[in-house]
């Protein structure tokens, strides 16, 4: 299969972002005619124009490199693995964030929502999970929705599944990542998800909640959680651009007390400096 041209990629991202040629050309400071020529291959864009168009289309750094390569230029953004020596300050910062969140669960994920770092309290979320789901790259969506994962313990599975599927669908659409698209197909085929698929979308006129709690059955009663997601603000590396830290917070004092007791029983201390 021939590699897509830079014009094809720009048009693909422009359509994905629902931008007209005129709108994008105005933002990038070029004529609509020139942008049209770039998209059809009649003009070769400069690297500066490629990056300007990518920036206005909010293209992820990984795909900006792909655009530059398609135009015949070298990538501008490094792509270091998280265990690279140069990433040591980043790893340390994430670890501090996760440790400071103890005794509550916290984890870091990559673009595919695979867990790359976690604090000790994250073990509270994996108790009783099929060991096969914990081998290799632990995927948050599989862990949550797979019948061998947390699904049987979720007391509001329909609500969580509806939110998770919509989040995954949105991630796949906005990034154009085929891996996320395959993961979405996989998740939708899980028996519990397939069973409630007609209910996954809010009925017309329904009022959405302020947030969807993560209500699960714990060994001593219900644990209700909500999450926050943090990303790095000014990344210039692909790995860093795709990292996110998800922290789980107790939604009520009873859940907080339960998590503290469970963490204590597992020998997990509180926040670390």
Q: Which CATH number fits domain 6-70: 2.40.30.10, 3.10.180.10, 1.10.260.40, 3.90.25.10?
A: 1.10.260.40
- Which helix (H) or strand (E) covers residue 35, if one does? helix 32-40
Count CB-CB contacts under 10 A for residue 211. Answer: 11
> Contact at 8 Å (CB) between 29 and 52?
yes
Q: What is the distance between the alpha carbons of residues 119 and 98, in angstroms, rounded to a whole number? A: 6
pLDDT digit of tens for each residue in the chain (273 aa)? 568 999 999 999 999 999 999 999 999 999 999 999 999 999 999 999 999 999 999 999 999 999 999 999 999 999 999 999 999 999 999 999 999 999 999 999 999 999 999 999 998 888 889 999 999 889 999 999 999 999 999 999 999 999 999 999 999 999 999 999 999 999 999 999 999 887 766 544 455 566 789 999 988 889 999 999 999 999 999 999 999 999 999 999 999 999 999 999 888 877 765
Q: Which CATH number fits domain 85-265: 3.30.450.180, 3.30.1370.60, 3.40.50.670, 1.10.3470.10?
A: 3.30.450.180
């Amino acid at each position: 299969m021939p590699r897509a041209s830079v014009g094809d990629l720009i048009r693909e991202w422009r359509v994905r972002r629902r931008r007209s040629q005129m709108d994008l050309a105005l933002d990038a400071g070029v004529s609509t005619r020139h942008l049209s020529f770039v998209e059809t291959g009649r003009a070769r864009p400069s690297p500066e124009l490629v990056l300007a168009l990518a920036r206005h289309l909010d293209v992820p750094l990984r795909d900006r490199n792909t655009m530059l390569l398609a135009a015949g230029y070298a990538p501008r953004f490094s792509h270091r693995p998280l265990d690279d020596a140069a990433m040591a300050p980043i790893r340390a910062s994430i670890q501090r964030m996760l440790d400071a969140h103890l005794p509550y669960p916290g984890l870091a994920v990559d673009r595919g929502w695979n867990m790359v770092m976690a604090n000790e309290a994250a073990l509270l979320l994996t108790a009783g999970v099929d060991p096969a789901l914990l081998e290799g790259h632990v995927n948050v969506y599989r862990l949550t929705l797979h019948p061998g994962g947390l699904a049987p313990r979720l007391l509001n599975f329909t609500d969580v599944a509806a939110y998770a599927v919509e989040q995954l669908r949105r991630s796949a659409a906005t990034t154009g990542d085929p891996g996320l698209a395959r993961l979405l197909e996989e998740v939708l085929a899980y028996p519990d998800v397939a069973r409630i698929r007609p209910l996954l979308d809010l009925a017309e006129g329904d009022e959405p909640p302020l947030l969807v709690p993560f209500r699960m059955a714990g060994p001593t009663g219900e644990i209700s959680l909500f999450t926050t997601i943090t990303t790095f603000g000014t990344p210039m590396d692909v790995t860093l651009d795709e990292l996110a830290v998800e922290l789980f917070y107790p939604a009520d004092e009873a859940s907080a007390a339960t998590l503290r007791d469970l963490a204590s029983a597992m020998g997990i201390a509180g926040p670390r400096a």
